[in-house]
Amino acid sequence: MTERAQLRIAGDPRPLVLAVGQSILAAALEQGVDLDHACGGVCACSTCHVRVQQGLDCLSPPSEDELDQLDEAPGVGLDSRLGCQARLLRVPAGGAVAIAIPSWNRNAMREGSG
């Protein structure tokens, strides 16, 4: 059985899961979360930028390509990751990975979904 963590998204009350080996983007899309991913999730843009509030140390380390893409994203911090690249390596001690989708990205999602 695949190990799973809770995936908590700020402002979204749904109970979501993130499996070991799965990316945040894949888990979000699989569970109906509309996380933007203009490049199709291949690390060629920064539209799936998220801020990891809990469990950052349990995610795969960022590659140079990911860091280059994050350089182009607004509102980047030390907790920033691309959802398409951040994969769960192990379940955090608290059992959850918590993320926030930056407001500029949520706004882009709403504008693009109409």
pLDDT higher than threshold 90 for residue 28: yes
Tell me which CATH code domain 4-112 carries: 3.10.20.30
Place of tokens 């500029």: 104
pLDDT at 102 > cutoff 60: yes
* % the chain with pLDDT above 90: 85
Reduced to 3 states (helix: H, G, I; strand: E, B; else coil), residue 58 is: helix
Contact 52, 29 (CB under 8 A): no
Query: Which of the four pLDDT bands, split at 50, 70 and 90, describes residue 59?
Result: very high
Task: State the pLDDT at residue 110.
Answer: 38
pTM of the model: 0.90
The mean pLDDT of the chain is: 91
Confidence of residue 106 (pLDDT cuts 50, 70, 90): low
Token representation of residue 15: 């109970």
Give the domain ranges of the chain. 4-112
